[in-house]
């Protein structure tokens, strides 16, 4: 496994325990949060060519979508790490940030859920890079069976997304995250994995739809016959 793949897998894997803040312990959360920040920086460094060429070349709708998602994700990641560090009582207790605790808490709660949703959507937009072989390997009756399973898990994810109050966190309608201390950690992880899959699928389907509509426009304007590569 390349370092790039390892980082791509480690980020969603670490995201699940991070979302379980009170269930895994505050000190562990802060250490895991800093590790996640390290992964974000490594991932950005691995994609530094993107930053240099952000405004260059043809801006296809699919590329614009990926850029908008990456920039929003970047903003959410900065806000999440910054607000976490400002509230930190274990790793950075010496910071003179006690006056901003209430604001930092609101930002951390809202951005935590936005970050989760955007990371999944972004992973879905880049699905072909993450799992390049999957599309080719899935043929015959396996294809509808896998699609049906994914749809069922995503449907469950939609239910868990609402039941866990994530829309309320995202739009600052709730001031605190509720944690059920009797809930097995595995149930928490399973629900969040299903929510992640829901938004990753949404990202993948959106990417396919945007590319398909670009292809149609190209074909109807005659460009498709020139064999030009699409976004």
Closest distance to ligand HEM from the beta carbon of 222 (Å): 29
Nearer to ligand HEM, 102 or 152 (CB): 102
- CA dist 119 and 77 (Å) reads 9
CB of 230 to ligand HEM, least distance (A): 16
Nearer to ligand HEM, 30 or 191 (CB): 30
* Burial state string for 101-126 with b = 16 or more CB within 10 A and e = fewer than 16: eeebbebbbbbbbbbbbbbbbbbbbb
CB 73 to ligand HEM: min, Å: 5
Question: What does the CA dihedral 84, 87, 88, 89 come to, rounded to 10 degrees?
Answer: -160
- Closer to ligand HEM by Cβ: residue 95 or 142: 95
For residue 65, give the nearest of 223, 204, 217, 221 by alpha carbon.
Answer: 204
Residue 92, number of CB atoms within 10 A of its CB? 14
CB of 183 to ligand HEM, least distance (A): 14
CB-nearer residue toward ligand HEM: 38 or 184: 38
CB contact set of 20 (below 8 Å; sequence gap of 6+): 179, 185, 188, 189, 192
Question: What tokens appear for 9 in the block?
Answer: 């897998």
Q: Which is nearer to ligand HEM, 77 or 210 (CB)?
A: 77
Helix 185-220 / helix 3-19 crossing angle, nearest 10 deg: 130
Smallest distance, ligand HEM to C-beta of residue 84, A: 3
Main-chain dihedrals φ then ψ at residue 19, nearest 5 degrees: -70, -20
Minimum CB separation of residue 148 from ligand HEM in Å reads 24
User: Which sign does the torsion angle of CA 165, 120, 205, 170 carry?
Assistant: positive
Q: By the criterion CB under 6 A, which residues form the site for ligand HEM?
A: 8, 11-12, 18-19, 21, 29-30, 33-34, 36-37, 40, 43-44, 47, 50, 66, 70, 73-74, 77, 80-81, 84-85, 87-88, 91, 105, 108-109, 112, 115, 119, 122-123, 126, 129-130, 176-177
| Closer to ligand HEM by Cβ: residue 6 or 145 | 6
């Amino acid at each position: 496994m390349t370092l790039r793949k390892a980082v791509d897998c480690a980020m969603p894997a670490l995201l699940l325990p991070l979302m379980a803040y009170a269930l895994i312990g505050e000190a562990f959360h802060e250490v895991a949060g800093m590790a996640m920040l390290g992964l974000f920086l490594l991932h950005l460094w691995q994609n530094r060519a993107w930053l240099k060429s952000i405004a260059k070349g043809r801006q296809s709708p699919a590329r614009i979508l990926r850029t908008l998602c990456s920039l929003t994700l970047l903003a959410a990641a900065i806000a999440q790490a910054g607000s976490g560090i400002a509230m930190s009582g274990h790793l950075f207790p010496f910071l003179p940030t006690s006056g901003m605790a209430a604001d930092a808490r609101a930002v951390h709660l809202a951005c935590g859920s936005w970050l989760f949703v955007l990371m999944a959507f972004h992973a879905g937009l880049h699905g072909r890079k993450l799992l390049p072989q999957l599309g080719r390997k899935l043929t015959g009756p396996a294809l509808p069976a896998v699609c049906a399973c994914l749809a069922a898990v995503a449907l469950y994810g939609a239910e868990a997304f609402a039941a866990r109050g994530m829309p309320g966190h995202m739009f600052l309608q709730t001031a605190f995250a509720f944690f059920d201390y009797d809930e097995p950690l595995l149930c928490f992880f399973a629900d969040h994995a299903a929510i992640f899959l829901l938004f990753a699928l949404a990202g993948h389907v959106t990417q396919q739809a945007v590319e398909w509509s670009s292809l149609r426009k190209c074909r109807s304007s005659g460009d498709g016959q020139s064999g030009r590569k699409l976004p």
